[in-house]
Structure 1
Amino acid sequence: MWRPDRQSKQTLYEQIADHLEQRISYGEFPPGSLLPSERKLAEQFGVNRSTIIMAFGELRAMGIIESRSGSGTRVSRTKWGATPKHTPNWNRYVEGGSFLPNLPFMRKIREALNQQPSLIDFASGELSADLAPIEEITALMNGHQYTSYLGYDHPQGYVPLRQALVPYLSKYRSIETGESSILITSGSQQSLYLITQCLLSPGDAVAIEDPSYCYSLPMFQSAGLRLFRLPVDRCGVNPEEIRLLHKKHRIKMVFLNPNFQNPTGTVTSAERRKQLLDVASELGLPIVEDDPFSLTAYNGEAPLPLKAADVNGSVLHIGSFSKIAASGLRVGWMVAPHAIVERLADARQQMDFGLSVIPQQVAAQFLKSPQFEPHLNRLRMQLIFKRDLLIEALQKELGDLVLYTVPEGGLHLWCKLVPDVPEAKLLDEAIRNGVVFVPGSVYGSDAGYVRFTFARAKADEIRRGIAGFAKALRGLM
């Protein structure tokens, strides 16, 4: 994030005026658009409000901006002189298009983290640097001779990675498949995007869990899909609800996260799993199984995926390295019938001509290396440690004001707040107290829930972060 250089010979207000002029000239603030308030810019740039007033005065004198009492400061429609210059109305383009922006809460969280890097982060669903296998991957990269060919790769993904995934899926997930039935993607989210864009049509009805990570993804609405809820209880979703939704709305697909579900941490029971597969087979209904957290099982016994018991080919199985190794590798995969893999590979090739081959090579080497299993063991131990720190801090700071079920895997703790406080105000107050989390409504739940991700914050930040959250909550009670 840009800030003026206090060591520069140029004054602070001149630097800010130049910076704003450049952003206006690049079209970030189109003619007639409203600029942020003086107070907000002062906070963003770390200066006094008087400095912003002087910068605005400089721009106003040049005819670049104009201020009116009661209506704020706007970019001049004739900013480069007396003769009007017609610039595209970028705001109209931003508001158009079929792909929807992120939810307001998610944009606020992202903006807060960008502007205040010191915030304790209970929102980002990824591993912290100390949990990622950085040393192991660095050693592999230093000791491995990577291919000199850097052209477009196979449409389904790097062949040696798909070959390495075959024994990996067999050993760790009890999924028997071949490399031709595997599609490499840039993570679970691209897999979901390809499915919603290529296998479904606008107006199609689909069933998703409630609460569900899918609610936080505008891609479902962007695809024009009709979403119907499957309530998640302590045993997962009720398969009979799927049958009812199919009868009433003719749902075409079901999206599930049966192992350490995001955000609740629930593991679907064995009885429900069998019933889910029976219902899918009876109705000819595909199940999309997102399975990113299974190998984080704290006892080392990862629950099997639905795909492991899928004898009728009803399940599209999605996996990823993001939650067990490094989100920055951007390597995920999908196990599906070959016809589906070919269809999605063709669509993905139209989007980007394929993924970068180097991260795929790194992932293939790491999967086959003797360091992979020790990394998983260390990851589980560290996740347990952080989970317990979080629970201990919640008990100390909030006691009976927060209810939760202790997860046995995954990265998240799903909490019900006893006091009834407005979500938006709670998030704002938490940010003021140095911590950020995800409100429950992001996942489609009723008000009064929050998700804390304990994998992203450093261990020595967790107690302090919960203390900040508790201060924000008590301040609103």
Structure 2
Amino acid sequence: MWKPDRSSKTPIYQQIADYMEHRIAFGEFPPGSTLPSERKLAAVLRVNRSTVVAAYEELRATGILVSSKGNGTIVSNLNEENSTNQTPNWKEYVEGGNFLPNQPFVRRIREELLHKKGLIDFASGQLSPDLYPQEIVRELLQKRPFHEQLGYDNPQGCAQLRETLVSFLAQHLHIQTTESSILISSGSQQSLYLILQCLLNPGDAVAIEDPSYCYSLPMFQSAGLRLFRLPTDEHGINPEEVMALYRKHKIRMLFVNPNFQNPTGSVMPLERKIRLLEIASELGIPIVEDDTFTLTAFDGHPPPTLKSIDKNNNVLYIGSLSKTATSGLRIGWLIAPQSVICRLSDARQQMDFGLSSIPQWVANHFIKEGHLDNHIQFLRKELTKKRNELMRGLTEIMGDTISYSVPQGGLTLWCRINREVDEFKWLEESTKRGVIFVPGTVYGSKKGWIRLSFARPFFHEISPGIQQLHAALEMCQ
């Protein structure tokens, strides 16, 4: 990102004015759009707010910017009085469309992580850089000859990777499938998006867990679906409530994350899984199983997936490398009946003609040559250490202020705050102190819950992060 040159003879405010004028001239901020607030731009550029105020005043003096009460600083249209040409009302377009933006609070968290360097990140549900298999991937790229064609690949995904996944899933998760029943995706969210867009219609009723990561995804609302929530306890959802919800709302699909559920970390017992499958079979409704965490089981014994015990082909199974290896490769998979895979592959081809062959080639060798097996063993040990360090810090520093159940897998801790607190004010104060987390209401829970990732921060950051988290909480009382 651009920064002002403090060694230049040009005043910093003038450098900022020139920089913003350049961005406006090249259409990044078209007429009618709102510029970042003075305070926000000052924080990003690491200058005093008064410097940005002076830069904006310079642009106002030339007529490039105008101030609008209640709307901030807006780019003017210098040609509107002297020309019949008109610039599109980009604000109207941006605020329109069927695909909704992320929740404002989710966007705020991501913006803070993007622009504020050095934050201790308890918010992101991904691994820290030291847990990625960087050297193995680098070695695969350097030492393995790449003979694949570089044209458009099969929209269903690389055949070799799908064949490798058939063996891997059978060996490690007891899931029996065929390569023609697998669609390679760019991750779990693309699989979800394809399901929502291709297999459901606006107005359809679907059920999700409460709380649920699905609740934080506007793609459900963008698809025009009616969303109904199934409350969870320490063992996940109660299957009998699915039957009651179906009778009341005729739900057409169920979305669950039964192993190390996000955000609660719960595992659905085998008896409930069997009963859930029986009910789904009786009602004839599909279950979408989002399974990104099962292989992280800290004891080395992954609980059974719904797909592995599905006798009637009711489960659409979603998996990914993002939580167990690397999110940067953008490799996920969806297992479904071949008719469904053909439908989704056709839609996928319309979107992007299929994934790049290079990350699929890397993923295939990474899994086939046993590197993923070894990495999972390493990952389980490291995640266990981080989980224990987070729990130790919470117990020693925050004491009875916070409570939680101990997750046996996954990347996060679901925490209850045992006092009245405004989570959003707490987050604001924590961010000022260099720590960020996700309030539980983002996932649809009641107030008083937060999700803390122990996978994303480095080990040495966890205890200092909890200290600042606690200090911020005290400031909010």
- What TM-score does the superposition give when structure 1 sets the normalisation length? 0.97
Letter in 2 for 1:471: A
Between the aligned partners of 2:284 and 2:216, the Cα distance in structure 1 is: 27
Contact 2:252/2:285 (<8 A) preserved: yes
Deviation at 1:138, TM superposition (A): 1.6
**Residues 452-471 of structure 1 correspond to what in structure 2 (within 5 A)?**
452-471=452-471
Deviation at 1:272, TM superposition (A): 0.2
Letter in 1 for 2:364: A
Calculate the aligned-residue CA RMSD, in Å.
1.7
Residue 115 of structure 2 corresponds to: 115
Between the aligned partners of 1:370 and 1:201, the Cα distance in structure 2 is: 41
Letter in 2 for 1:304: P
Between the aligned partners of 1:68 and 1:51, the Cα distance in structure 2 is: 20
Contact 1:31/1:79 (<8 A) preserved: no
Residue 214 of structure 1 corresponds to: 214
Structure 1 residue 416 and structure 2 residue 416: aligned? yes
Residue 98 of structure 1 corresponds to: 98
- Secondary structure of 1:327's counterpart equals coil
Residue 380 of structure 2 corresponds to: 380
- Secondary structure of 2:420's counterpart equals coil
Most deviating of 12-21 and 43-52: 43-52
Contact 1:64/1:80 (<8 A) preserved: no
Between the aligned partners of 1:140 and 1:306, the Cα distance in structure 2 is: 33
Between the aligned partners of 1:27 and 1:476, the Cα distance in structure 2 is: 42
Residue 4 of structure 2 corresponds to: 4
Deviation at 1:5, TM superposition (A): 1.9
Deviation at 1:144, TM superposition (A): 1.0
Letter in 2 for 1:328: G
Deviation at 1:85, TM superposition (A): 5.4
Residue 139 of structure 2 corresponds to: 139
Identity among equivalent positions (%) equals 57
Residue 447 of structure 1 corresponds to: 447
- Secondary structure of 2:328's counterpart equals helix
Contact 1:63/1:79 (<8 A) preserved: no
Shift in CA distance, 307/295, structure 1 to aligned 2, threshold 3 Å: same
Residue 324 of structure 2 corresponds to: 324
Structure 1 residue 225 and structure 2 residue 225: aligned? yes
Between the aligned partners of 2:20 and 2:217, the Cα distance in structure 1 is: 32
Residue 157 of structure 1 corresponds to: 157
Deviation at 1:419, TM superposition (A): 1.4
Deviation at 1:82, TM superposition (A): 5.5
- What TM-score does the superposition give when structure 2 sets the normalisation length? 0.97
Residue 244 of structure 1 corresponds to: 244
Letter in 2 for 1:95: E
Residue 25 of structure 1 corresponds to: 25
Ranges in structure 1 where 5+ consecutive residues have no aligned partner: none
Deviations 1:107-136 (A, max 9, x none): 010111111121111111111111111112
- Secondary structure of 1:398's counterpart equals helix
Between the aligned partners of 2:302 and 2:442, the Cα distance in structure 1 is: 28
Most deviating of 311-320 and 5-14: 5-14
Ranges in structure 2 where 5+ consecutive residues have no aligned partner: none
Shift in CA distance, 141/234, structure 1 to aligned 2, threshold 3 Å: same
Residue 335 of structure 1 corresponds to: 335
Deviations 1:236-288 (A, max 9, x none): 11111100011000000000100000000000001101100110111111000
Shift in CA distance, 145/55, structure 1 to aligned 2, threshold 3 Å: same
Contact 2:32/2:89 (<8 A) preserved: no
Residue 275 of structure 1 corresponds to: 275
Deviation at 1:11, TM superposition (A): 2.3
- Secondary structure of 2:403's counterpart equals strand
Contact 2:148/2:357 (<8 A) preserved: no
Most deviating of 32-41 and 438-447: 32-41
Letter in 2 for 1:61: A
